[in-house]
Structure 1
Amino acid sequence: MENATTNDSNKGLQKQKADGRQPKAEVRSIKADSRPLYPQRPEGKWHNRRVVFSILIIALLFVTPFIRIGGQPLVLLNVIERKIILFGIFIGPQDYWLFGLTMLSFFVFIVLFTTVFGRLWCGWACPQTVFMEMVFRKIEYAIEGDAGKQKLLDKAPWTSEKIMKKGLKYTIFLIISFAIANLLLAYVLGTDELYKIISEPIDDHIGLFSGIVIFTAVFYWNFAWLREQACTVVCPYGRLQSVLLDRNSINVAYDHKRGEPRGKLHKGTGRTEGDCINCFQCVAVCPTGIDIRNGTQMECVNCTACIDACDAIMDKVGFDRGLIRYTSENVIEKKTAKVITPRTWGYAAVLLLLWSALGFVVATRADTQTTLFRAPGSRYIENSDGTISNLYTFKIFNKTNHIIKPSLHLDTPHGKLLFAGSPDLTLEAAGMSEGTVFVIIPKSELKSRKTVLKLSVLQGNQQLETFETTFIAPEE
């Protein structure tokens, strides 16, 4: 996204090029010969906050599949069997419109959140960032050391020390990847099914066990090699910034008004340059390899590492903190903040309407969905006892995650139902039952050739659903 920050920062870049100094930022690509990044170990106030928040996120991710409400998991994302549970609300195969409304609401919420807070999600709560920076990267630092030691180790010949360190690191990576793969399966299939896979013979669940192995390999490849490229190349969220962000969006940003022109710090001389001393510490700690001073960039995940690095340097040289900070372009340019804009109000209004519609739909949704149609090619039957019969086929869908034993009941007009099979129906969770039934009505109840029938689905004395169909009789 082109903006004033980028334009003013480029002036500083041009000056550096004239002096023969190039920025050290380098974004890694997916090419096989692309060099790995070695970000320095971050530390500081913002990093400590992210550590605490990440611990809470990881704990929440691992605990959530085991939380149950009324015997159902709090969250289940079984797209294989088209069973989804969100905070206790079951969304089955027949609730495609409810699922669509939920996804649309989620998308609008993401748009609204990003418009106001930028990529706060990416830096603080995205599982990719949380696991990469707060788990895998910290293990790497603990075993191989900081960025410089990692680089030297990678260039060193394969000694026993290197084999031991690399072997230990990648073994731990593989174990954690296996745990994450099982966590994913707990969200997709549920903890009960996961326990069966773990406790029962592999031959009984060879397909699902193969899935665990495949996802373990995928997660291992992601966190051991792909890394920040998952954010900069694979994830589409960063590429949406150009349409989601505006000049009032809050982001991690470099204050070019204060920092430019850049220049080294010289003792004993009056400083005519800005506060940026060209130390490149903001680049050294960046996990995606960018220079935040170049303005808003797609690769920036707002991880705050550059804020801590810059603040530490400002403390050492005696300048005020906040050269890099959470702010917006308008605050930097005009020193005024305007978080709530007409665009924000518009998104909020749309989101409120969607949530209202979603709440109404959930509150009024029936537990079953029934279709009842006259059998193709069938005609009415005049019985000897003065009644008329129509043959119907029916399907009853269970829209809950528990077993239902429904019964069909004819409300109006007066008559009876005669099932071709057993009238005792059982619907498994998210299951379906179908059959054939005769609707028999006395001629005295029929006033025209077509009569509207009102029927209901009952479970005991509880009415689950009402619906209508038409009944055909001979003309008088």
Structure 2
Amino acid sequence: MSKPDIKPVPIKIHPRLTSGRFNNMRVGMVALTQLAFFGMPWLQWNGRQAVHFNLAEHHFLIFGISLWPQDFIYLAALLVVSALGLFLWTTLAGRLWCGYSCPQTVYTQIMIWIERAIQGDHNARRKLDAAPMSAGKLAKKSATQMIMAAFSLWTGLTFVGYFTPMRELATLQMGPWDLFWTLFYGGFTWLMAGVLREKVCLHMCPYARFQGSMFDDNTLIISYDAKRGEPRGKTQAKSEAQTKGCIDCGICVQVCPTGIDIRNGLQYECIGCAACIDACDQVMDKLKSPRGLIRYTSANALQGKPAQSPSFHRPRIVIYSSLLAGIITLSTTALVLKKPFKVDVLRDRASLVEQSDDGLLQNRYSLRVINTTEQAQRYVVTVEGLPGIRMEKPGEVIEVKPAQTETVPVRVQAAPENAPRGSHRIHFVIRSLNDDVTIREKSSFIGE
């Protein structure tokens, strides 16, 4: 019995360089995403870093927006919007996120550019891998890894720059944790994009496993037109009709970063980068055949069925869009109407009630005033809820520096006849003297 013909699986995929409109889009997305990532920590806003996530002080600054732990709801909304946006986009246009914007795809592309610049095109890199070790091979491989490592460290340093002021890190003023996270993030960038590459998409990314469940027959995906392309082969190119089909050149496989053959149909390994479309279009141009043998299309379009348009006829599009619009509207409205300061009231548990020199009952509190604006603010505090209740120092003004927190001890007094034994609901009224905004915070007054 003859043994089955088993094709060897390449240890490392070296995708062939292609060009075209979709390649230009990918290059543009790499440039855009990296310009934003590397440039953002250097931007200044009102004399400070424009985007700074200060974990030590639990304070996030995003241009003119100041967020504190109490604003966690906005982070939750952002995560929900990101998830719903990804679901909606996947239902409409397949895995365009993976092909053009995913950090794994972007950084893998950068690492391939570095490798290509030093070691040559895809054929040269394959020959170099297969060649025995020599001084030339060692030099090229070492230079490639050194530049990849340097780029990865730069990436790690920039990532830490979102949490520690970037201008301090640029002068190497970093603590042990800054150094650790620079090496950690940089090391994983090198490992994921420089070493594992497409294996992350094939074996580690969960999105590749469940994205098919969000597709329908009208989802825009990369597909091979089998009706036009089959049967394959150069010998088929004898009639005018057959010159429009696949000549089985295999270039679509050579340019694929995950090493699949798109002609075998939709596969979870496909990241939607459209490199095969650019490659096939170039071959069709040389054969003077129409483009589109491999193209963005839908299952209905391939079968000659009319596309379901408009999109609101598709239930999942309606659901995703409605949820997305609702959450964005609510979050934006809440952010616009957000008060320019926050107040936390803490009772002094060590001393529930005491008597002042003039015979009034007295409770102690700590007011934590958070100024979320970029200007110094002045506040005045009053109290209400019981007859004759007042502050020990009425009219006292609290001053808080820009984007800072001030904790102020205060005492509240009430006559014994107005505060019998037990707990009584009261409210602190904090008014900003700068913009006349008022916040009421509830608390309790203990009488005896």
- 1:45 Cα deviation after fit: 3.0
Report matched runs for 1:116-265 at 5 Å: 116-133=92-109, 135-189=110-164, 193-200=165-172, 205-265=175-235
8 Å CA contact retained: 2:389, 2:414:
yes
What CA distance in whole angstroms lies between the structure 2 residues aligned with 1:160 and 1:330?
Answer: 56
Structure 2 match to 1:10: none
2:423 is aligned with 1:453? no
2:407 to 427, 433, 446: 433
Instruction: Please give the secondary structure, in 2, of the residue aligned with 1:162.
Output: helix
- 1:295 Cα deviation after fit: 2.4
- 1:442 Cα deviation after fit: 4.3
What CA distance in whole angstroms lies between the structure 2 residues aligned with 1:211 and 1:162?
Answer: 32
2:440 is aligned with 1:466? yes
8 Å CA contact retained: 1:288, 1:299:
yes
Structure 2 match to 1:114: 90
8 Å CA contact retained: 2:40, 2:51:
yes
Q: How large is the RMSD of aligned CA atoms in angstroms?
A: 3.5
- 1:36 Cα deviation after fit: 0.7
What CA distance in whole angstroms lies between the structure 2 residues aligned with 1:103 and 1:252?
Answer: 28
Structure 2 match to 1:7: none
What CA distance in whole angstroms lies between the structure 2 residues aligned with 1:362 and 1:473?
Answer: 39
Report matched runs for 1:16-415 at 5 Å: 35-71=11-47, 73-77=49-53, 82-86=58-62, 88-133=64-109, 135-189=110-164, 193-200=165-172, 205-268=175-238, 275-338=245-308, 340=311, 341-372=314-345, 374-376=347-349, 380-381=353-354, 385=358, 387=360, 389-396=361-368, 398=370, 400=372, 407=379, 409-412=381-384, 414-415=388-389
Instruction: Please give the secondary structure, in 2, of the residue aligned with 1:455.
Output: strand
When the two structures are aligned, how many residues end up with a matched partner? 437
- 1:152 Cα deviation after fit: 0.9
Q: Cα 1:377–1:405, aligned 2, differ >3 Å: closer, same or farther?
A: same
- 1:440 Cα deviation after fit: 1.0
- 1:405 Cα deviation after fit: 6.1
- 1:381 Cα deviation after fit: 4.9
What CA distance in whole angstroms lies between the structure 1 residues aligned with 2:231 and 2:243?
Answer: 5
Deviations 1:160-216 (A, max 9, x none): 221222222222212211221122122333xxx2322332566xx233123223332
Report which stretch shifted further, 66-75 or 174-183: 66-75
- 1:44 Cα deviation after fit: 2.5
What CA distance in whole angstroms lies between the structure 2 residues aligned with 1:328 and 1:398?
Answer: 53
Q: Cα 1:449–1:130, aligned 2, differ >3 Å: closer, same or farther?
A: closer
Instruction: Please give the secondary structure, in 1, of the residue aligned with 2:429.
Output: strand
Q: Cα 1:327–1:396, aligned 2, differ >3 Å: closer, same or farther?
A: same
What CA distance in whole angstroms lies between the structure 1 residues aligned with 2:355 and 2:53?
Answer: 51
What CA distance in whole angstroms lies between the structure 1 residues aligned with 2:425 and 2:149?
Answer: 64
Deviations 1:24-54 (A, max 9, x none): 896xxxxxxx711121112223213332343
What CA distance in whole angstroms lies between the structure 2 residues aligned with 1:425 and 1:59?
Answer: 39
8 Å CA contact retained: 2:243, 2:287:
no
Return the TM-score normalized by structure 2: 0.84
- 1:385 Cα deviation after fit: 4.0
8 Å CA contact retained: 2:355, 2:362:
no
> Unpaired runs of 5+ in structure 1?
1-19, 27-33
Return the TM-score normalized by structure 1: 0.79
8 Å CA contact retained: 2:339, 2:437:
no
Aligned AA (2:204):
V
What CA distance in whole angstroms lies between the structure 2 residues aligned with 1:261 and 1:79?
Answer: 61
Report which stretch shifted further, 122-131 or 393-402: 393-402
Q: Cα 1:57–1:384, aligned 2, differ >3 Å: closer, same or farther?
A: closer
Instruction: Please give the secondary structure, in 1, of the residue aligned with 2:162.
Output: helix
What CA distance in whole angstroms lies between the structure 2 residues aligned with 1:401 and 1:165?
Answer: 53
Q: Cα 1:82–1:319, aligned 2, differ >3 Å: closer, same or farther?
A: farther
8 Å CA contact retained: 2:46, 2:374:
no
What CA distance in whole angstroms lies between the structure 1 residues aligned with 2:219 and 2:289?
Answer: 26
8 Å CA contact retained: 1:41, 1:141:
no
What CA distance in whole angstroms lies between the structure 1 residues aligned with 2:205 and 2:237?
Answer: 45
- 1:434 Cα deviation after fit: 6.2
Aligned AA (2:145):
Y
What CA distance in whole angstroms lies between the structure 1 residues aligned with 2:364 and 2:300?
Answer: 67
Q: Cα 1:397–1:242, aligned 2, differ >3 Å: closer, same or farther?
A: farther
Deviations 1:290-332 (A, max 9, x none): 1112222222111111001111222233432111111222221
